[in-house]
């Protein structure tokens, strides 16, 4: 059974700092890995998707890496801003399109201190 | 284009009742998935439908059922509600791989 872990559960950093969020998974036979952002009481916003054959993806100030063999992914946020405050969830997909169950971690609650 | 829409946004039910939640995917998306998110936890997979066929089912009791209509919208039904069914129910649609989530329906069972 695939298990996804995110550590730490909560993180507070001053505005402007760079930070790294961690995600680990137990079964390396994944199809892709997706990072999401969730604001309180809201749905999920997709940030980045990394295919199992890729090592990293970048979007603006965000960079996600994937090391499938070690079962780890990181989300790097550069020059953090108060608007980055949210819960960040990683999820692994085990199959290709048409059969796309995602297994989620419990998230890291990020607070950026102005 | 409109994103994934879900209705209702909030719902209060009592134990033993039945509930129907609705989801409209992004135009052109044929795959719809349902997730349950209990407070403080990550979403848990319930069902996935693609082209009106069930493609996956999570570890949920038979009280949970779903279907997808010809226009690719979907319904999630939960019978005999329990207090533990209180959660945020999320619907996601996809065209290729990236899943796009709706705002969710918050269900409270009293």
Tens-digit pLDDT profile for residues B26-85: 999 999 999 999 998 999 999 999 988 998 899 999 999 999 999 999 999 999 999 999
Interface of B with A in 54-93 (CB under 8 A): 55-56, 58, 88, 90, 92
Phi-psi sector, B72: left (phi>0), alpha (psi -120 to 50), beta: left
Give A99's contacts in chain B (Cβ within 8 Å): 48, 50, 55-56
Asked if pLDDT for residue A97 goes beyond 70, the answer is no
Q: Is the peptide bond before B8 cis (omega within 30 degrees of 0)?
A: yes
CA distance A17 to chain B (A): 26
Does B99 contact A102 at a Cβ distance shorter than 8 Å? yes
The residue among A98 and A63 whose pLDDT is bigger is A63
Residue A22's pLDDT band, with cuts at 50, 70 and 90, is: very high
Give B55's contacts in chain A (Cβ within 8 Å): 98-100
Give A105's contacts in chain B (Cβ within 8 Å): 42
> For residue A46, how far is the Cα from the chain centroid?
9
Average pLDDT over residues A13-40: 94
Asked if pLDDT for residue A100 goes beyond 90, the answer is no
């Amino acid at each position: 059974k695939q298990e996804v872990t995110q550590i730490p559960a909560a993180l507070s950093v001053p505005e402007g700092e760079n930070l790294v969020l961690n995600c680990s998974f137990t079964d390396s036979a994944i199809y892709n890995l997706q990072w999401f952002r969730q604001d309180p009481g809201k749905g999920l916003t997709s940030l980045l998707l990394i295919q199992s054959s890729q090592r990293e993806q970048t979007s603006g100030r965000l960079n996600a890496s994937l090391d499938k063999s070690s079962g780890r992914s990181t989300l790097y946020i550069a020059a953090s801003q108060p608007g980055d405050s949210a819960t960040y969830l990683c999820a692994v997909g085990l199959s290709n399109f048409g059969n796309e169950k995602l297994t989620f971690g419990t998230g890291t609650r990020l607070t950026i201190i102005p | 284009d409109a994103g994934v829409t879900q209705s209702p946004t909030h719902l209060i039910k009592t134990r033993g009742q039945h509930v129907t939640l609705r989801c409209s995917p992004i135009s052109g998306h044929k795959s719809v998935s349902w997730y349950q998110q209990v407070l403080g936890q990550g979403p848990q997979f319930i069902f996935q439908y693609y082209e009106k066929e069930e493609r996956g089912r999570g570890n949920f009791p038979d009280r949970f059922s779903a279907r997808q209509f010809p226009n690719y919208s979907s319904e999630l039904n939960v019978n005999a509600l329990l207090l533990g069914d209180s959660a945020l129910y999320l619907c996601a649609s996809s065209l290729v791989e990236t899943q796009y989530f709706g705002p969710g329906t918050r269900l409270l069972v009293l």
